[in-house]
Amino acid sequence: MKIIRTALEIHQYCSNLKKTGRKIGFVPTMGALHDGHLSLIDLSLLKCDVTILSIFVNPAQFNESLDFKNYPRQESEDLLKIGHRKVDAVFIPSVDEMYSKNEPMLEFDLEGLDLVLEGKWRPGHFKGVITVVDKLFRLISPDKAYFGQKDFQQLCIIKKMSAALHPNTEVIGCEIIREPNGLAMSSRNALLTDTEKLEALIISKTLFEIKDNWEKSSIQELLNNAKREFEKSNLQLEYLEIVDAETLNSIYTKSNSPSIACIAAKSGNVRLIDNIILY
C-alpha cells in the first residue's frame, strides 16, 4: 500500500493508472475510520481494479474552529485498520498541499439543496465539501467514488456537482452501517463516552419508530412524538424533518415519492446526524 502525501504525486500515480485502462475506485474520508468506511473500501475493492483512499480533515467544511480542532485524527490507527485490505494507495495531504493562501471556494449552484437541513445549521459547510471533493476528483479522476448514505444530503449534493463537473465519475451511495444496538457508525462517535453513546441511541430509535409507524400515523404525529422523547433526553435536537428524498424539502403529507427522515442532535459538543429512508 502506497502512502502519498503530495497532490503532484497522487495526480501522476492516477494518470499512469488511467493510461493502463484500469478502473479507479475512490473512497474519500476524513479519517478516524470505522466499519462504515471499511464497507466503502470493500465495495471499491470488489468493483474496481484499483482502490484509493484519502484521509484529509478538510478545514473548509467546518464552520466552528473548535469542531475542526477536536475532530478525531488517528492516522496510524487508520493505516492499521486498512492494513490487511488490498488498498492500493492512501492519499494523506496536508492542508497546505490542498489549499493555497486565500484560495477561492468552488462556485457551483446547488439549486437550494445546500440551504435546507444541515445547510441551515452549518452555513458554508457544503461549499467546503464540494470544493474539496472537486479537488480530489480532479487529482484522482476516479471511475467510481463511494460515499456513505449517513450523510444523505452530502451525497445528493456531491452527485449533483459531480454530474456537472465530473461526468466520468460515478458517485455511489452506500448503506448506513450501524452498531448492533442501532447507533449509526460515525467518526464523531470516537468523541463520545460510553454513557453518551448509550444516550445517543435515541437518534436511531426515533428513526426506527418513525419508519415502523409510517403507515399508521400522520407526519405531524410522528414528529411530535419524537420531539417529546428528545425533550426527556440529554441530547439537544437541532432538527428532525421528513423531507422529499430528491428535493430535500420538508413534506407535511405523505406522497408516492420516497421520503427520508433526517435528524441532527448534539450530545454535549458532539454533533451527530442520522437518517432513514421511508417509502
Residue 125 annotated to the active site: no
Interacting stretch for ligand PAF, rule CB under 6 A, among 23-31, 92-100, 176-184, 209-217?
A: 23-31
Q: x/- site string to ligand PAF, residues 81 to 120, per CB under 6 A?
A: ----------------------------------------
Q: Which residue has the cell 484500469?
A: 22
For residue 145, report the phi and psi dihedrals to the nearest 5 degrees.
-130, 135
Least separation in angstroms between CB 184 and ligand PAF: 13
Q: Residue 41 and residue 38: Cα distance in Å, rounded?
A: 5
Of 30 and 89, the one with the shorter C-beta distance to ligand PAF is 30
Q: Which of 129, 191, 203, 263 binds ligand PAF (CB under 6 A)?
A: 129
Is residue 24 a contact residue for ligand PAF (CB under 6 A)?
A: no
Q: Residue 196 and residue 267: Cα distance in Å, rounded?
A: 7
Beta carbons within 8 Å of 82's beta carbon, 6+ residues apart: 1, 33, 38, 41, 53, 90
Q: x/- site string to ligand PAF, residues 53 to 72, per CB under 6 A?
A: -----x--x-----------
Q: Which of 4, 14, 17, 30 binds ligand PAF (CB under 6 A)?
A: 30
Q: Residue 266 and residue 38: Cα distance in Å, rounded?
A: 25
Site for ligand PAF in 151-170 (CB under 6 A): 151, 154
> In this structure, are residues 260 and 242 in contact, taking their beta carbons and an 8 Å threshold?
yes
Beta carbons within 8 Å of 29's beta carbon, 6+ residues apart: 37, 53, 54, 55, 56
**Residues at the contact surface with ligand PAF, assessed by CB under 6 A:** 28-30, 58, 61, 129, 132-133, 151, 154
Residues labelled catalytic: 37
